[in-house]
Amino acid sequence: MNYFLATGNLRSPSGLNLMQQAGLSVVADKLNFFRYISHFRCVHRGAFFTEMRTTTVRKLRPEAWGFLCPVHTPDGTPCGLMNHLAAQCSIQNEPSDTSGMKDVLLRLGVIPLDSPLILSGKDYYSVVLDGCIMGYIHFERAELFTDTLRAFKTLQQEKVPRTLEICLVPKSDYASQFPGVYLFSNVARMIRPVINLSHDAVEMISTFEQVYLNICVTASEAHEGITTHEEINEQTMLSVIASLTPYSDFNQSPRNMYQCQMGKQTLGTPLHAYRFRADNKLYRLQTPQSAMVRPAVYDDYNMDEYPIGTNAVVAVISYTGYDMEDAMVINKSSFERGFGHGSVHKTESVFCISGNENNEIEGLDVDGLPYIGRLLHQGDIYYSYVNLQTGDTKVIYYKNEESAYIEQIKLLGDDDGKMELQKIAIVLRIPRNPIIGDKFSSRHGQKGICSMMWPVEDMPFTETGMTPDIIFNPHGFPSRMTIGMMIESMAGKSAASHGLCHDATPFTFSEEEPAIDHFGLMLTKAGYNYYGTERLYSGTDGRELEVDIFFGIVYYQRLRHMVSDKFQVRSTGPVDVLTHQPVKGRKKAGGVRFGEMERDALIAHGTPFLLHDRLFNCSDKSLAKMCVECKSLLSPVLEKPKNISGMLFNNQNKWTCSLCKKTEPVQVIAVPYVFQVLVAEMAAMGLKVVLDAKSDIC
């Protein structure tokens, strides 16, 4: 079981008839509350379906409405296969008590199996409870029977379980599910609450019966005599995370999906017990704020305890050119005041037996451990220990490139708690304040990277002297159609000026009462423009800008993708043993692949020298000997030196062609090293490679 939970791999000879043996468990990542909760509300159809060519499995079906969120699914390969439960949806965990059911069914007119009556099967539905036939009911009585049973269930009468699924599949002339009355009380069913209109009470329904019920979303949609149920509110179809997107009904749908992805990658407040945790990696936002514009569920989930962003003053203006293509300019002073500051907590577990009793190692305590609060740079003394066999003291140096502070040191016992001082956990705190290249996003799928920390004195300013924290390029709006972000900007501005918190629950505004009127009038009352714009002055020369600029407050999230984890540089470095080409991978200080498409681009640009530099000089340039007479790369061999001085001094080495036994035609040429490998490999296959080289070009 430990192995299964740790790896997600199933070790079973039979395979338990499952369609996959690996990936059955997922680490509950505590990056923030969003990510943590969504791990527990996630439903994955399985790896098998990802390879399926049809899209039918990915579609949202009527029976899934209200149970699975239509918004909260990733884009790309797992789209529609990895779903999340709607916020109101729950799973039946324990079997219901159905001991009184038989009695109830009989009293409602079900004819038992052992009845002496002779029934004509044509006119009767069978009544099935959890797969067992309980009896039969006549076609004409079936509807009344299910309605009464549903009333008992809804009103909690006659010991009918509250989560009983009651479904009458009527007989019809067209192809349909097998007719009958089906009752389910067993576990592993998704259940959700709706309002039963005939009793005006909340009823728990499940997926199978939902298709046979008539559920309206709002009261205005109800049809007299047809509609039986009503949704509790319009947001019940959304998952926990999707319902936390403000004004999501104003956005283009994919943007809401992106926000569901990005909310889960945001730095925030994953927990409060930092002092007692020893997670491998924990991110922390140093200066989080409570969102001023938030859906009502934000408070239901107590999100203020786990905030994930900052209210930022955003000006929608193309100002410096540094805000092109989704980049954003951040006010340098806002950054210095703490905007987006964060840190990473890393825990390293070391075996350690003290080794600095006489204080001879500088910078370490007597127990051989570093002082708490000390700043470590690469190459600094980290800790020391004594080798019990030899009695020698060994000093360990800090290897990481990033400097870190010693946050905490914990002495741990063994796993059973019987022995003390078996391990030592050192918690390192790595400051990760925003730098150019770090990723931010609003709650509307509008992500961008910081392209510049712009000095506040050069930022545009309003008539009251305010400068924006973030400059957002207006070209981000037309194609993305995130109207929700515009409304959030206006709502945030009016919230800040009136000292309010605005409810951003989706579907609260309508055509008759538009959001712009609501917030526009509030802004007018506070002395601002109705449309949320403001007159701005250029930060460089103080002149008034010709157009009014959309200026408001938007809640911004800092995403965990940071350049410090991603940047890759290399001048020269490790190469592959076989090909002598640079290795790949950031960790190994490798190179970035310059592929065929990149090659095409350089050819198209007419820059052959750059192409030559990338693919040859900076890659696997090598000098090879070849014989120009027999045109072979393999025939030159190094002559055995005559004496020891010939061995030591390379310039006295003599290369002779082993075929024509001459020294003169052997020339040095520059070829890619892989080419030498290719020639050698082809020779091994019995193929000769002839190079048409002349001696004067070498």
Chain positions contacting Zn ion, by CB under 5 A = 627, 629-630, 635, 657, 659-660
Closer residue to Zn ion, CB minimum distance, 374 or 625: 625
The owner of tokens 């190094």 is 638
Question: DSSP alpha helices (H): ranges in 139-193?
Answer: 139-154
Looking at residue 678, its amino acid is L
The owner of tokens 């940047």 is 567
We find the least distance from the C-beta atom of residue 656 to Zn ion, in angstroms, to be 9
C-beta of residue 560 within 8 angstroms of C-beta of residue 266: yes
Closer residue to Zn ion, CB minimum distance, 611 or 659: 659
Nearest to 382 by CA among 360, 404, 357: 404
Radius of gyration of the chain (CA): 36
What is the crossing angle of helices 483-498 and 515-525, to 10°?
A: 30
Q: Residue 616 has what DSSP assignment?
A: I
Closer residue to Zn ion, CB minimum distance, 659 or 677: 659
We find the least distance from the C-beta atom of residue 670 to Zn ion, in angstroms, to be 19
Closer residue to Zn ion, CB minimum distance, 376 or 630: 630
We find the least distance from the C-beta atom of residue 646 to Zn ion, in angstroms, to be 22
Residue 294 makes CB contacts below 8 A (sequence gap 6+) with: 244, 246, 303, 501, 502, 503, 504, 555
Write phi, then psi, for 63 (nearest 5 degrees): -70, -15
We find the least distance from the C-beta atom of residue 629 to Zn ion, in angstroms, to be 4
We find the least distance from the C-beta atom of residue 696 to Zn ion, in angstroms, to be 17
Closer residue to Zn ion, CB minimum distance, 279 or 629: 629
CA separation for the pair 263, 400 (Å, rounded): 29
- Using the Cα atoms of residue 395, residue 400, residue 403 and residue 405 in order, give the sign of their dihedral: negative
The H or E element spanning position 424 is strand 423-431
Closer residue to Zn ion, CB minimum distance, 63 or 629: 629
We find the least distance from the C-beta atom of residue 695 to Zn ion, in angstroms, to be 12
Q: In the 3-class helix/strand/coil scheme, how is 290-316 assigned residue by residue?
A: CCCEECCHHHHCCHHHCCCEEEEEEEE
Question: DSSP alpha helices (H): ranges in 296-425?
Answer: 297-300, 332-336
The owner of tokens 């996959």 is 20
We find the least distance from the C-beta atom of residue 635 to Zn ion, in angstroms, to be 5
Write phi, then psi, for 415 (nearest 5 degrees): -65, -30
Q: What angle do CA 604, 607, 611 make, to 5 degrees?
A: 100
Closer residue to Zn ion, CB minimum distance, 357 or 664: 664
We find the least distance from the C-beta atom of residue 636 to Zn ion, in angstroms, to be 7
Residue 337 makes CB contacts below 8 A (sequence gap 6+) with: none
Write phi, then psi, for 385 (nearest 5 degrees): -150, 165
We find the least distance from the C-beta atom of residue 694 to Zn ion, in angstroms, to be 14
CA separation for the pair 245, 254 (Å, rounded): 13
We find the least distance from the C-beta atom of residue 660 to Zn ion, in angstroms, to be 4
Write phi, then psi, for 463 (nearest 5 degrees): -65, -25
Q: Is residue 504 exposed (0-12), middle (13-18) or buried (19+ Cβ within 10 Å)?
A: buried
Closer residue to Zn ion, CB minimum distance, 524 or 663: 663
Closer residue to Zn ion, CB minimum distance, 166 or 630: 630
Q: Output the CA torsion 622→625→630→631 (10° steps).
A: 20
Partnered with residue 195 across adjacent β-strands are 202, 230
Closer residue to Zn ion, CB minimum distance, 372 or 638: 638
We find the least distance from the C-beta atom of residue 686 to Zn ion, in angstroms, to be 19
Closer residue to Zn ion, CB minimum distance, 149 or 630: 630
The two beta strands, 621-627 and 470-472, are: unpaired
CA separation for the pair 432, 346 (Å, rounded): 12
We find the least distance from the C-beta atom of residue 327 to Zn ion, in angstroms, to be 59
Closer residue to Zn ion, CB minimum distance, 143 or 664: 664
Closer residue to Zn ion, CB minimum distance, 346 or 631: 631
We find the least distance from the C-beta atom of residue 630 to Zn ion, in angstroms, to be 3
